[in-house]
Amino acid sequence: MKLTITLLVAALATLSLGADAQEARIRKRLAARIPQMSKIDEVRRTPMAGLYEVRIGTDLFYTDARGNYVIQGELFDSKARRNLTEDRISQLTAVDFSELPLKDALTIVRGDGKRRVAVFEDPNCGYCKVFERDMQRVDNVTVHLFLYPILSPDSAEKSRNIWCAKDQAGAWTDQMLRDKPATAANCDTSALQRNLAFGKKYKIMGTPTLIFANGTRVSHAIGTQEVEKRLAEAGSKSATAAN
């Protein structure tokens, strides 16, 4: 029995060394052939046999076991119906909810407001308008809304007027649900610039982008049922962590 365990440990160690050597070869070969890949942060296997993920910062590439071919694109798991590239980037750019600059967000409270979610949205985003209509059916939640004007110069103007409105939440609701722009106004809008800088740092590339209390992130609009599911998951994980 002891011999069997010893042999098993030795075999696992050999496999580990082999994997490390393989990843080192890929790293060395790509760095030699492609100058832009001279500083690779990580090489790791993907669920697809023979395909490796190459990470530079939060940028992802894929290569074969010999490093002869490089793919820049998205990897999908058709069986699980998941975008593995998106999942990985979300993991790499995860935001600790406690570190969100909430002072730069509008706060919208529904019901008891016990559940929390942060959302980055552009007032000209059609998907955001659909999302906002669905969110009207979600109760007992606090929404920290970060105005994120990335679609056009007009987005910046609308965001400014909403941010500077006396009733920010009302101005936002009028814009997104009734297509009623806020009255032109001026105030200190440095918060909007900080939102853009924050989004650039954490690669928030589109709107809406949602961040839940447990740190999970969704980079597209989701319906009421999915929002409820994720809020429940975030709440249960937070409770487990607290205990």
Q: pLDDT digit string (tens) for 41-76?
A: 999 999 999 999 999 988 999 999 999 999 999 999
> 166 CB contacts (<8 Å, ≥6 apart)?
none
For 100, which DSSP code? S
Residue 2, pLDDT above cutoff 60: no
- The CB density around residue 133, as the number of other CB atoms within 10 Å, is 13
Distance CA 132, CA 221 (A): 9
Q: Where are the beta strands (DSSP E) in 16-125?
A: 42-45, 51-56, 59-64, 70-71, 76-77, 82-83, 106-110, 115-121
Q: Sign of torsion, CA 194 195 198 203? A: negative
Query: 234: part of which helix (H) or strand (E)?
Result: helix 224-242
Is the pLDDT at 8 greater than 60? The verdict is: no
Domains of the chain plus CATH, in order, are 2-92 (3.10.450.70), 97-242 (3.40.30.10)
Average pLDDT for 162-191: 96
**DSSP H or E run through 148:** none
pLDDT-based confidence at 79, cuts 50/70/90?
very high
pLDDT (0 to 100) of residue 1 = 54
Q: What interhelical angle do 224-242 and 126-135 show, nearest 10?
A: 70
Least confident of 17-21, 69-73, 164-168, 222-226: 17-21
Chain centroid to Cα 82, Å, comes to: 14
- Terminal C-alpha separation, the chain: 40
pLDDT band at 20 (very low <50, low <70, confident <90, very high): confident
The β-bridge partners of 235 are none
Compute the C-alpha angle 192/195/199, nearest 5°: 145
| pLDDT tens-digit readout, 106-146 | 999 999 999 999 999 999 999 999 999 999 999 999 999 99
